Amino acid sequence: MNNNAHAPIGLFDSGIGGLTVANAILEQLPNESLIYFGDTAHLPYGDKSADTIRYFTKTIGSFLLSKECKIIVIACNTASSVAFDMLENMAGDKAYVFNVIDAVVDEIIRKKYKKVGVIGTLGTINSNAYKTKIKKKDADVEVQQLATPLLAPMIESGFVDGQISHLVIEEYLNSPELQDIETLILACTHYPLIKKEIEAFYAAKNKKVDVLATNEIVAAQIKRFMIEHGLVNYEKKGKSAFYVSDYTESFAKTTQLFFKESVDLIHLPLFK
């Protein structure tokens, strides 16, 4: 394994949504250097086939391995659902690979939730990845799932915390599937941006539903793992690089929404 604490952490997503994971990692591990790849040429992943997502993951995984990352994080629920095993095999003993699902599943079991709701892209929901992994650990947990395909493009277009997002969120959360739940998993790396709106929706209805955003839970899991394995960079702050497979001004602008500060995107046409 690459146990060099000074090596970077690699992350990728279909676009810039995974920056919520990058942000959470840097908040918890401020000295790390990140190599982020947003596959903006191919987004959204949510409605692509599993085979196509595995093909994209293979190419991006090779790139991140070539950068000698100590850890690779699949910062996308859709790719985590269908391509994690493949990437873990591919990385072999070169890097530790994390998805954004397992840490959340562990949290559900640890907190002993019995009625769980999951919202995510069509790809994530149709894969049943959360349901299968939760049921494998505790068959008594009821898992209700709902695909919410409007949310990621809505967030990416900047419709957050306004009339349009309130309406769309309300329409989805009022679905019969999600009525009898104790916790709601936001199974898409875009959704931390609407976590407060979702919490406000439940508060207004006087309903107690714990809303779980995957980014912070995954960052905490990675931090624990890195401490246990001596992988934390305790020295000076590392430099991060942010690559995209297709560059547009609008992606560059939107990074601020997801990362809380502006990011210099580097165009890297990996698939040519």
Residues with a catalytic annotation lie at 76, 188
How many beta carbons lie within 10 A of that of residue 67, not counting itself?
15
Would you tell me which residues interact with ligand DGL (CB under 6 A)? Answer: 13-15, 17, 43-46, 76-78, 121, 124, 152, 188-190
- CB-based contact 220:103 (threshold 8 Å): yes
75 closest CA partner among 67, 66, 84, 85:
84
CB 240 to ligand DGL: min, Å: 19
Q: Which residue is nearest to ligand DGL (CB)?
A: 46
Q: In this complex, which beta carbon is closest to ligand DGL, that of residue 76 or of residue 105?
A: 76
List C-alpha distances in Å: 111 to 21, 43, 98, 107, 173.
22, 34, 21, 6, 22
**Which C-beta is closer to ligand DGL: that of 44 or that of 61?**
44
- Report the nearest approach of ligand DGL to the CB of residue 141 (Å): 22
Q: Which is nearer to ligand DGL, 97 or 152 (CB)?
A: 152
Min dist CB 77 to ligand DGL, Å, is 4
How near is the Cβ of 92 to ligand DGL at its closest, in Å? 25
- Specify the residue, 124 or 240, whose C-beta has the smaller distance to ligand DGL: 124
Burial 227-262 (b: 16+ CB within 10 A, else e): eeeebebeeeebebbbbbbbbeeebbebbebbbeee
CA distance linking residue 39 with residue 269, whole number of Å: 9
